[in-house]
Amino acid sequence: MMPIYLIVAYAVFVGGTLALACSIRMRRRQIEREIERLEARLSGAEAPTTNES
Amino acid sequence: MRNDRLGVALAALSALAMGTALGMVFLYAPREVTMGDVQRIFYFHVASAWVGFFAFSVTCLGSVAYLARGERRWDILALSSAEIGTAFIAMTVVTGALWAKPVWGTYWTWEPRLTISAVQLLIYVAYGMLRASVEGPERRARFAAVYGIAAFVTVPLSWFAIRWWRTIHPNVLTGEGMAITPRMVHTLLVSLGAFTLLYAALLRQRVRLERTADRRARLRLRARRG
């Protein structure tokens, strides 16, 4: 049987790496969503000018 | 990962390499005579420390390049690499303690290598805190670059700690404190390769995150002006 220390150590490696990868991905998703909102706001602000013509 | 073929390829390759390394650690590498199965921590522990050292070296080089050229991309490289290095050094310290308990009878002892590793981890955590506390992107990048170069001193210090001072930490290269067989060497080399690929995949994603954040900053500025 594998010692508990070995199992916990490999869980730390796998969990730690996955946590880092997910954290990067989630932060990027969050920023992308904010970019979409900002772009929608900016295009909304510019829209009346184009509609007037 | 839209339109990022290299990113997808790196992620797939690193996943494959990590799977192979895990398989070799548990199925190919022999059981060490004195420590038993717990010695298997060593393969990923060393590979994780290697990635930490490599990542901090990239941070140092990126910092030097930023101070020399003043281009944002070097600052992005330095900060992305520092974040990944910090995560891997943290894993190295935690798994080292898990290995030490059954082998040394204690999770922690204030011997040179362990002490320097703990200090190194705190120094790079402080790097992130410094970045968060300085106002102004250029000032922040300049401060972080100087800090990133100074912090690099912990890498050679940690590497040579087991050679310069009396320590109980095993020396992987000389095999001192641990019997190394060819199968163990193969497993270690595959683990080192797998972790290096993983670093490259994570670095690419982290750099993309920072570029996306820059795009958001430009849009926020436009929205404020508009």
Closest in A3, A24, A38 to B216, CB measured: A38
Please tell me the predicted confidence (pLDDT) of residue B224. Answer: 87
CA A28 to centroid of chain Cα atoms: 3
| Nearest alpha carbon to residue B131 among B120, B119, B142 | B142
Interface A-B, measured as beta-carbon pairs within 8 A, has a size of 80
Mutate to test the interface with A, among B8, B219, B225 (most CBs of A within 10 A): B219
CB of B20 within 8 Å of a chain A CB? The answer is no
Q: Is the pLDDT of residue A53 over 80?
A: no
| pLDDT per residue as tens digits for the range B59-70 | 999 999 999 999
What mean pLDDT comes out for the span A8-26? 96
Kindly report the nearest CA distance between residue A13 and chain B, in angstroms.
Answer: 6
Please tell me the predicted confidence (pLDDT) of residue B170. Answer: 76
Q: What is the 3-state secondary structure (H, E, C) of B94-163?
A: HHHHHHHHHHHCCCCCCCHHHHHHHHHHHHHHHHHHHHHHCCCHHHHHHHHHHHHHHHCCHHHHHHHHHH
| pLDDT per residue as tens digits for the range B7-58 | 999 999 999 999 999 999 999 999 988 888 999 999 999 999 999 999 999 9
**What would the two tokens of residue B150 be?**
């100074």
C-beta atoms surrounding B59 within 10 Å: 30
pTM, full prediction: 0.91
* Reported ipTM: 0.88
Looking at chain A, the whole-number percentage of residues with pLDDT higher than 70 is 83
Note whether B220 and A38 are within 8 A (CB): yes
